[in-house]
Amino acid sequence: MQRICLFPGTFDPVTLGHTDIIDRALPLFDKIVVGIGLNAAKAPMFSPDQRLEWIEDIYKHEPKVSGAIYEGLTVDYCKRIGAHFILRGIRYVSDFEYEKTIADANRTLDKHIETVFLTGEPKYTSVASTIVRDIIRNGGNASPFLPNLVYESLKK
């Protein structure tokens, strides 16, 4: 059985914190699907297609990583793609408390899907998409928080 993992999120935009988690998860899984979840409660800054393009461009030379856009329950999407693992990144203790609640709910919905937590590298703990969007909106330099490919595409 292949170890397929879904890394769900909004990735609005893709940050160095996200790529840190993906890169360090590569040895753990046979395939990582970076799932851009559509959430009616959130108003993203970048289109789902733009976010998917960034993922695909960043990982174009890594066959184990693919991107996808999905709607609905994360566990339902896991079933559709054959993923038995959900990957989540943790920056702070407060992230763990929030993420554990979601992991517990997902486990209740499907006991065959396990959530795996990776802690972010300390140098990326301050990297949050919300902060990065605010920097971009206000004309600041977001380059310290973004993969070069994402930063360069924003300059255009």
CATH number of the domain where residue 22 is located: 3.40.50.620
| Closest C-alpha to 8, from 34, 41, 31 | 34
Distance of alpha carbon 81 from alpha carbon 143, whole angstroms: 33
Q: How many domains does the chain have?
A: 1
Range of the domain at 146: 4-155
Sign of CA dihedral 25, 26, 27, 29: positive
pLDDT, tens digit (0-9, with 9 covering 90-100), for 10-62: 999 999 999 999 999 999 999 999 999 998 777 899 999 999 999 999 999 99
Instruction: Give residue 95's identity as a one-letter amino acid code.
Output: D
Instruction: Specify the pTM.
Output: 0.95
Distance of alpha carbon 63 from alpha carbon 2, whole angstroms: 14
pLDDT category, 125, cuts 50, 70, 90?
confident
pLDDT, tens digit (0-9, with 9 covering 90-100), for 65-81: 999 999 999 999 999 99
